[in-house]
Amino acid sequence: MNNVIYLTSLSIAKRMTMYIIIALLFFVASSKAQNYDTIYVESAQKKYIKILDTERASVKESAIFNVMALAQYYPDHNYAAVIAKLHELSTVSENPKICYKAFLALNFFKHSAWFDDYSFVRQQDTDRIFLAIAETVNNRLLKISQN
């Protein structure tokens, strides 16, 4: 029982030193986690951009959905390269379904506040989610045009 150190029995200087060390440990741990998130998101974006260059439409559709899910899970990151690729797909893709889904994804990125109540889960029906996004974009654009 004598080996137990109580915070009340420590001097104020020792307590302050201990608090500073604990705070520094938390800071270092959180900054490493943020660095890992940044590395992960940047790596994932590069992979999705490569996938969006493939010929298979179903693979592109899946990548478009997954990029939106990534942005929902990590909203504070820069998605400029992904947005540029989506813009390219929405304007030059020969597949109208890919053009439309890329357009919807662009609106998802540009107007993220419109989709705050959306939740992306991998097991969900992606067509149903794209339909919900389309309805939201349509309703918002109609409101803008009526003003």
Residue with tokens 């149903």: 128
Torsion angle of the four alpha carbons 119, 139, 132, 101, in this order, in degrees rounded to the nearest 10: -100
Which pTM value belongs to this model?
0.70
Asked if 51 and 70 touch (Cβ cutoff 8 Å), the reply is: no
pLDDT tier for residue 75 given thresholds of 50, 70 and 90: confident
Q: What is the pLDDT of residues 39-59, one digit of tens each?
A: 888 888 998 999 899 888 888
Average the pLDDT over 29-36 and give the result: 59
Write down the domain spans for the chain.
9-146
**Rounded-to-integer distance, Cα 65 and Cα 46, Å:** 15
Q: What percent of the chain has a predicted confidence (pLDDT) above 70?
A: 71
pLDDT tier for residue 25 given thresholds of 50, 70 and 90: low
pLDDT of 30 over the 90 cut: no
**Rounded-to-integer distance, Cα 60 and Cα 65, Å:** 9
Average the pLDDT over 4-12 and give the result: 55
